[in-house]
Amino acid sequence: MKSFKTTLIFLIVELSFVLPTPNSAVITCYHLVGNSWEKAQVVENASTHQIKEICNESDEQKQCVEVKGSVKILYEDSFKGIPKLSEIEVYSETNLEEIEPGTFTDLPKLDILDLSGNNLQEIKSGTFVNLKVQHLILQRNSISLLREGAFVNLSDVQKLSLERNNLQELKRGVFQELYVVQLEFGSNNISKIEVGTFASVFPRDEGGIILNLSNNSFTEIDASVFDYKYSVYALMLAKNSISILRPGDLRNLPNLKYVLLSENKLKEVPEGVFNGSKIVSIELDNNEISFIGSKAFDDMKDLTFVNISNNKLKEWNNDWFCGEGAKVIRLSYNYLETIPVEAFTNIPGGSMLKLDHNRIQSISDSAFKNVTYLDSIDLSYNEIQEWNVDLMRNVKTDGAVDLNGNKIKCPESGSNSLAPKARIVYLSYSCPQVIEKALYFSDEV
């Protein structure tokens, strides 16, 4: 497959000099010979009715047809009589507008159907009925309408991509009997999913489904939409207009592991949205969050990554990140001003803390009480003036303590004196004379 892609890149370069006449295509056939695709036929000015003659069935195991040029319609007979066809690519500049239902029947070996970059506006009922493809790629068209039964019984489809179209709503009855790994709906204008839309969409394996709804127009997460229990494991909702998260919004997604909510309009993260779940990673960066409930991330034994950078948090809460397991905690670019008494006492050992680019002026003398081991802590680009040399006396780190970009008095005895058990303390950007010395290398730990 790899070598085919390579061939294709060269081919596109080659063909860019051939300007096809309107309503005619450049049809290229490939055969799989051993492990690589070999170009078998290239015919210019062809009609899609001729594909069968051009890509004559051969003894090869698999065949591929690439159609470029100007093709408005794919007809019912376009791909008939090529039973070994395993890939069809009709894409870019082809301006395909219509597919007659029945075009893709009798293609038992078809794995990949790629219709990217065309001008399709709707998908009719039964267009892909009983197709056994693994990848059905419809991205970069102008699809605004999916008819009832548009995607029925695609029993082998792993990835269905409708990314970059003009969809506004997903409706019930469009997706039936699908067993998928990945559903791509990113970069449309979807603001609504009808209840029941995913009622007969099932995960292909135990891992669950990746559901990409990023770069759309959602304003909330409607829990009742996700009635396909135990299935979604990655929910991507970055770049929407979600302004509210409510307790229970994710209640129908008990297998969720990755949640992407970057670049929305969230102001608060209350308790009861994430706590108690199996989520591993939560990305909440680039919102307007100024409040996070004390127990918002409680009882999450798998949580290892939280990104809340680029928000409006002013106050650190000691109870945010309790619980077992080292975590990567990113709070860069917020408005934190003080690090209070026992702030990090509850942080699990081995965690990585990113607190750079806040407005931290003071750090309580007991901020690190009972903390003995961190991966690293980044306090760079804050407004720290006083650094108590006893603050991190007992804190060992595998990585760096970054104190650059503050107003700390440069220590004559080298940067290590500020955190004697840290592997290295970065300060030389602010204090060019200071000696930074790594105590040991991380792989010796």
Ligand X SMILES: *[C@@H]1O[C@H](CO)[C@@H](O)[C@H](O)[C@H]1NC(C)=O
Hey, which residues between 185 and 204 contact ligand X (CB under 6 A)?
Answer: 186-187, 189, 191
Q: Which residue is nearest to ligand X (CB)?
A: 186
Q: Which residues of 330-354 are buried (b: 16+ CB within 10 A; e: fewer)?
A: bbbbbebebbeeebbeebbeebbbb
- Least CB distance from residue 285 to ligand X, whole Å? 3
Least Cα distance to 88 among 149, 54, 141, 135 occurs for: 135
Q: Which residues of 54-66 are buried (b: 16+ CB within 10 A; e: fewer)?
A: bbeeeebebbbbb
Hey, which residues between 309 and 368 contact ligand X (CB under 6 A)?
Answer: 309-310, 330, 342, 345
Single residue of 63, 103, 264, 286 touching ligand X by CB under 6 A: 286
> Beta strands 192-193 and 281-283: pairing type?
unpaired
Q: Which stretch binds ligand X (CB under 6 A): 7-15, 181-189, 382-390, 401-409?
A: 181-189
**Per rule CB under 6 A, is residue 215 in the interface with ligand X?**
yes
- Give the DSSP letter string of 368-427: TTT--EESEEE--SS------TTTTTT-EEEEEEE-TTS-PPPPTT-GGGGSTTEEEEE-
**Per rule CB under 6 A, is residue 272 in the interface with ligand X?**
yes
**Per rule CB under 6 A, is residue 168 in the interface with ligand X?**
yes
Single residue of 87, 298, 375, 402 touching ligand X by CB under 6 A: 298
Q: Find out whether 101 and 128 touch, Cβ atoms under 8 Å.
A: no
Instruction: Name the β-bridge partners of 372.
Output: none
What size, in residues, is the chain?
Answer: 445
Residues in contact with ligand X, counted by CB under 6 A, come to a total of 40
In sequence order, the 6+-apart residues with CB closer than 8 A to the CB of 296 are 269, 270, 271, 273, 274, 275, 320
**Per rule CB under 6 A, is residue 295 in the interface with ligand X?**
yes
- Give the DSSP letter string of 267-316: -EE-TTSSTTS---EEE--SS---EE-TTTTTT-TT--EEE--SS---S-
Query: Measured between alpha carbons, how far is 306 from 378 in angstroms, rounded to an integer?
Result: 15
Single residue of 236, 245, 269, 367 touching ligand X by CB under 6 A: 236
Least Cα distance to 270 among 240, 250, 241, 256 occurs for: 250
Q: Which stretch binds ligand X (CB under 6 A): 31-39, 70-78, 268-276, 424-432?
A: 268-276
Q: Which stretch binds ligand X (CB under 6 A): 91-99, 278-286, 422-430, 437-445?
A: 278-286
**Per rule CB under 6 A, is residue 370 in the interface with ligand X?**
yes
Query: Measured between alpha carbons, how far is 292 from 220 in angstroms, rounded to an integer?
Result: 18
Q: Find out whether 149 and 126 touch, Cβ atoms under 8 Å.
A: yes
Q: Which stretch binds ligand X (CB under 6 A): 198-206, 209-217, 316-324, 414-422?
A: 209-217
- Least CB distance from residue 19 to ligand X, whole Å? 9
Helix H, strand E, coil C: the string for 13-40 is: HHHCCCCCCCCCEEEEEEEEECCEEEEE
Query: Measured between alpha carbons, how far is 268 from 263 in angstroms, rounded to an integer?
Result: 14
**Per rule CB under 6 A, is residue 163 in the interface with ligand X?**
yes
Binding mask 27-66 for ligand X (x = CB under 6 A): -----------------xx-------x--x----------
Q: Which stretch binds ligand X (CB under 6 A): 119-127, 196-204, 210-218, 431-439?
A: 210-218
- Least CB distance from residue 406 to ligand X, whole Å? 21
Hey, which residues between 386 and 445 contact ligand X (CB under 6 A)?
Answer: none
- Least CB distance from residue 412 to ligand X, whole Å? 33
> How many angstroms separate the Cα of 182 from the Cα of each of 137, 159, 208, 237?
11, 5, 9, 14
**Per rule CB under 6 A, is residue 101 in the interface with ligand X?**
no
- Least CB distance from residue 238 to ligand X, whole Å? 7
Nearer to ligand X, 72 or 159 (CB): 159
Q: Where is 178: in which H helix or E strand?
A: strand 178-180
- Least CB distance from residue 42 to ligand X, whole Å? 9
Nearer to ligand X, 28 or 415 (CB): 28
- Least CB distance from residue 2 to ligand X, whole Å? 20
Q: Where is 159: in which H helix or E strand?
A: strand 159-161
Q: Which stretch binds ligand X (CB under 6 A): 61-69, 97-105, 280-288, 376-384?
A: 280-288
Contact positions vs ligand X (CB under 6 A): 21, 44-45, 53, 56, 130, 152-153, 163, 168, 177, 184, 186-187, 189, 191, 212, 214-215, 217, 236, 247, 271-272, 275-276, 283, 285-286, 295, 298-299, 307, 309-310, 330, 342, 345, 369-370
